[in-house]
Amino acid sequence: MDLDVFVTAHQAEWDRLEQLLRRGRRLTGPEADELVALYQRTATHLSLIQSSAPDPLLTARLTQLVARARATVTGARRAGWRDAARFLTEGFPAAVYRSRQWWIPTALLSTLVAVVIGWWIAAHPEIQSAIAAPDELRRMTRPGGEYETYYSSHPAASFAAQVWTNNAQAVAMCLVLGAFLCVPVIWILFVNMLNLAVGIGLMSAAGRLDTFLGLILPHGLLELTAVFVAAGTGLRLGWTVIDPGPYSRRTALAQQGRAAMGMAIGLALVLFVSGVIEGFVTPSGLPTWARIALGIAAEVAFLAYVYILGGRAARAGEKGDVEAADRSAELPVAA
């Protein structure tokens, strides 16, 4: 493409579009039709320039022009309760459902790693002594020790808020850092599993694994599921950088990134529920079986939410992305 010839041929159309945009709402019917036609042609011009003869200044000008025209044609739209309801009943569960091929293997492999490392710590006293001195290990694992009092060491409300904040940060890091070729996500996940494995190993060596599981399972099932979903989504985002599939890398990353950001909000709500359980149920005086039953019920409810509502929405075409009217236009890459 000869860029100078192309600009000369279409400059008048771009100037006319800009003139119509400056008039705003004062357009006549024929002028409004003309604006729509010029918007469509300018969007195609922008695509051709981006794919054939990228020029930073011209691309920036046409991108701004197309964005202004699109906002004028489609109109501004405010988010409302309908958007929140759609997100909770369709967008978020569909995004989790669609990424299940990533987070389910992540969950299984991570759990296996935690169990293997926990068994290794429990079976090797020299590893335990490398973690902490014998007196310190006894303080942590004895009845009424640090592992048990940890969940009741602070007022329930403030403890739940602290736990929610920490877990939400970990989930957000998995989602955001996934674009860096998956490596940070794998590290964050490994650190979380290592912390779990140390607790499993030390309490198992002390003959109190049942107590440890009774403290972890009520909130840990839902909490770890949220972490696994975030990690799987982050890994999927990182893989999109490597293999964007049938889309351009930018389009694929934009689609997956928008879904990931929406998932961060949904998982924050899931972690809020987990934090409430950890702050109020885990340290409560309820029998162990009752606390674990509540944790299992919360986990089953979340999985049913994902597979029933999310599966139905996904089969209907929902991808967890924002609505089409709120996305940037995906322009063709060829004439």
Question: Could you read off the pLDDT of 304-316 as tens digits, one per residue?
Answer: 999 999 999 999 9
The DSSP-derived string for 212-276 is: HHHHHHHHHHHHHHHHHHHHHHHHHHHHHHH--TTS-HHHHHHHHHHHHHHHHHHHHHHHHHHHH
Mean pLDDT of 212-218: 92
Which region among 12-16, 84-88, 266-270 has the lowest average model confidence (pLDDT)? 84-88
Which of 178-187, 192-201, 274-283, 299-308 shows the lowest mean pLDDT across its residues?
178-187
Q: How high is the mean pLDDT of the chain?
A: 84
Residue 193 has pLDDT above 50, yes or no: yes
Q: How confident is the model at residue 200 (pLDDT cuts 50, 70, 90)?
A: very high
Burial 192-229 (b: 16+ CB within 10 A, else e): bbeebbbbbbbbbbbebbebbbbbbbbbbbbbbbbbbb
What is the distance between the alpha carbons of residues 210 and 208, in angstroms, rounded to a whole number?
Answer: 5
Length of the chain: 335
pLDDT tens-digit series, residues 222-257: 999 999 999 998 888 888 888 877 777 777 777 777
- For residue 325, the model assigns a pLDDT of 45
Whether pLDDT at 333 is above 60: no
156 vs 206, residue with greater confidence: 206
What is the Rg, in whole angstroms, of the alpha carbon atoms belonging to the chain? 27
Distance of CA 10 to the CA centre of its chain: 42
Per-residue pLDDT tens digits for 16-26: 888 888 876 67
Provide the pLDDT for residue 27.
78
**% of the chain surpassing 90 pLDDT:** 38
pLDDT tens digits along 39-75: 888 888 888 887 776 677 888 888 888 888 887 777 6
More confident residue, 190 or 157: 190
Query: Considering the chain, what percentage of its residues have pLDDT values greater than 70?
Result: 90
d(CA 279, CA 281): 6
Residue type, 186: I
Neighbours of 67 (CB within 10 A): 13
Is residue 332 pLDDT above 50, yes or no?
Answer: no
What does the pLDDT read at residue 154?
66
Q: Rounded to whole angstroms, how far apart are CA atoms 259 and 268?
A: 14
